[in-house]
Amino acid sequence: MFEWEKLGRIYNPHDFEDRPEWMFEFAQAPSTVIFDDFVRVYLGTRPKRDPNGQYVTYTSFIDLDRNNLFNIINIAKEPVLQ
């Protein structure tokens, strides 16, 4: 049986002051693709609420060093879909 081992938070947009406006907060619904040298984590992220208090979610990604999954080696510059 699979046993989950919680290791802590790997990514939070608030940890990066130079993040783009569309990646203001949240890193939700992660899904991974494993490559030879890195692990790409696709996730949902959001800009600030609009004037009506509504959010739009954008698909983004971060790339993690396959040998050290706490080492972020790349963060998407633009949403995956626009």
Is pLDDT of 67 > 90? yes
In terms of phi and psi (left: phi > 0; alpha: psi -120 to 50; beta: otherwise), the region of 53 is left
- Residue 59's pLDDT is 96
Alpha helical stretches, state H, 1-82: none
Is pLDDT of 75 > 90? yes
Task: Using pLDDT thresholds of 50, 70 and 90, give the confidence band for residue 80.
Answer: very high
Task: Using pLDDT thresholds of 50, 70 and 90, give the confidence band for residue 19.
Answer: confident
- Residue 17's pLDDT is 84
Handedness of CA 10, 33, 43, 16 (dihedral sign): positive
Q: Strands (DSSP E) along the chain, which ranges?
A: 25-34, 38-46, 58-65, 68-75
